[in-house]
Structure 1
Amino acid sequence: MMDQEMVTLSKPPVPEEFRIKSYVLRGGRMSNAQRRAYELLSSRYTIPFTGKVLDFRALFANENPVTVEIGFGMGFATAVIAQKNPEKNYLGIEVFRPGIGRLLWEIEKRGIANIRIIEHDAVEVFTEMVPPASLEGIHLFFPDPWPKKRHHKRRLVKRPFTDLLARRLGPSGYIYMVTDWADYGEWARGELSATPGLVNGYEGFAPPQDWRPRTKFEAKGLQKNHEVRELLFKTEAP
């Protein structure tokens, strides 16, 4: 039962500055395969948003380290990384249902056992469900750049949300962000650099990490001459 996989802790309400959504829900048609996967596999691999803090050991039935991916899109990179690292656990957060269906399809096709999914707003999930100092890593691959200046307030990678992310990381934890919007890369580097408890793993932007799969989305951006920026920030040693 799901209630056995969670523990209840006292938590403050979501802060006012977190309530500006960093996404817009897109309808998007689900393919037959995505719909089938969503209908058949959701109960096995998805977790409802609740007011309870997750017990990762109970959820995954092991004590392996956990990485959260925020906004996994169609889930290809998520599936490949999880399949190559069966000794680690992965929690994906997404609100785009066709993408969730696609990742569930990948899970079934590849026989992946170390992924769980929450279909909800990442800010609320991190605020209410992710325990402090519990994560090995946080992945943000190509979050919405909200390029217009009047929309910058909607960008996900900004303080105080990055402060919250840092508090959810354990010792030797990391945040790995990739964007194909140069301005957002500069913005995010500034926000992460100002976040207490985090240090840049490189002097500037990170080189491409060879363990991250390249996706069709990234290829389309490169065809449009977008400049990919990668950031790898680590938990600061005490």
Structure 2
Amino acid sequence: MPIRQFQAQRMHAPRDFQMISPDPICVEIGAGKGKHALLFSGQNPEKKLVAIERTREKCLAMHKQHVLEGQANLQPIHADAMPWIVHALNPAQVQQFFILYPNPEPHNPAQRWLNMPFFEFLLSRLQVGGTITLASNIAEYIAEAEQKLIEVWKLPFVKEVIAETSARTHFEIKYLQRGELCQQLIITKPEGYRTRFDDFMPLQGQSAAQQIALTAAPEKAE
């Protein structure tokens, strides 16, 4: 099944965008009020986590709690994840992505993460052996993601039932207290996996002609 080309060169940088260090990092997309981000950065002081949240109020709540707890290895970011990732991240820079309880987009399935052409770009930013953790309380969402991983993205993964005692996010706590089944997919990028964006550098400092040239001759993702 052909994968439609993601138009990275059309992405404008988020407002007040600032570049980050090219060092290896972990990235949480849709971090909310930061419960998981604060927990993960506290438990993994050797890893740097960038926690991206689009909603201003939630990001402010995360920032406020971060100031109180003071993890030096956590960087909250108020931005839309897609343009921020395109402009900020280098190829194979990310050790782990976390996408915990994303909007299931019931009326627009094309906007689900593994259905979007952008997912190929996301994979290009992941290190070999790096992982993407995708969690949901919706069985159909997980089942569809499994199908896409097998048929389209051709990636190895493990499906896990999330323990009833887990409390990584406010949504997770609420769903588990209701007795809902919460599951996650741990997706791994194997050695030799290729995308059409493996040599695509952040757009900052590139001319429009250079950006277009990088996406002019796509190859099929293997």
Confirm or deny a common fold (TM above 0.5): yes
Matching residue of 1:143: 102
User: Alignment partner for residue 31 of structure 2, among 35, 48, 72?
Assistant: 72
Superposition misfits of 4+ residues, deviation over 6 angstroms? none
Tell me the alpha carbon deviations over residues 153-205 of structure 1, each in whole angstroms, 9 at most, x when there is no partner. 232332422211111001211100111111111122222334547321x2xx1
Three-state SS of the structure 1 residue aligned to 2:191 is coil
Relative to structure 1, the CA distance from residue 77 to residue 104 in structure 2 (aligned partners, 3 Å threshold; closer, same or farther) is same
Q: Is the 8 A contact 2:134 2:186 kept in 1?
A: yes
Letter in 1 for 2:41: A
Scaled by the length of structure 2, the TM-score of the pair is 0.72
Unaligned runs of 5+ in 2: 1-7, 193-222
Q: Is the 8 A contact 1:76 1:106 kept in 2?
A: no
**Structure 2 matches for 1:196-235, cutoff 5 A?**
196=153, 198-200=155-157, 202=158, 205-208=159-162, 213-235=167-189
Unaligned runs of 5+ in 1: 1-10, 16-46, 58-62
Instruction: Report the Cα distance in structure 1 between the residues aligned to 2:138 and 2:112, rounded to whole angstroms.
Output: 12
Q: Which moved more, 1:111-120 or 1:88-97?
A: 111-120
Matching residue of 1:19: none
The total of aligned residue pairs comes to 182
Matching residue of 1:130: 89
Letter in 1 for 2:105: W
Relative to structure 1, the CA distance from residue 95 to residue 88 in structure 2 (aligned partners, 3 Å threshold; closer, same or farther) is same
Q: Deviation of residue 126 (structure 1)?
A: 1.9
Instruction: Report the Cα distance in structure 1 between the residues aligned to 2:80 and 2:27, rounded to whole angstroms.
Output: 13
Q: Is the 8 A contact 1:159 1:195 kept in 2?
A: no
Letter in 2 for 1:141: L
Q: Is the 8 A contact 1:107 1:113 kept in 2?
A: no
Matching residue of 2:217: none
Relative to structure 1, the CA distance from residue 81 to residue 161 in structure 2 (aligned partners, 3 Å threshold; closer, same or farther) is same
Instruction: Report the Cα distance in structure 2 between the residues aligned to 1:197 and 1:161, rounded to whole angstroms.
Output: 16
Q: Does 1 or 2 have the higher relative contact order (CA < 8 Å, sep 6+)? A: 2
Q: Is the 8 A contact 1:49 1:119 kept in 2?
A: no
- Is 1:171 aligned to residue 171 of structure 2? no
Three-state SS of the structure 1 residue aligned to 2:41 is helix
Instruction: Report the Cα distance in structure 2 between the residues aligned to 1:194 and 1:164, rounded to whole angstroms.
Output: 18
Relative to structure 1, the CA distance from residue 122 to residue 75 in structure 2 (aligned partners, 3 Å threshold; closer, same or farther) is same
Q: CA RMSD in A?
A: 2.6
Q: Is the 8 A contact 1:72 1:93 kept in 2?
A: yes
Relative to structure 1, the CA distance from residue 226 to residue 208 in structure 2 (aligned partners, 3 Å threshold; closer, same or farther) is closer
Q: Deviation of residue 13 (structure 1)?
A: 2.0
Instruction: Report the Cα distance in structure 2 between the residues aligned to 1:66 and 1:113, rounded to whole angstroms.
Output: 13
Instruction: Report the Cα distance in structure 1 between the residues aligned to 2:20 and 2:168, rounded to whole angstroms.
Output: 32
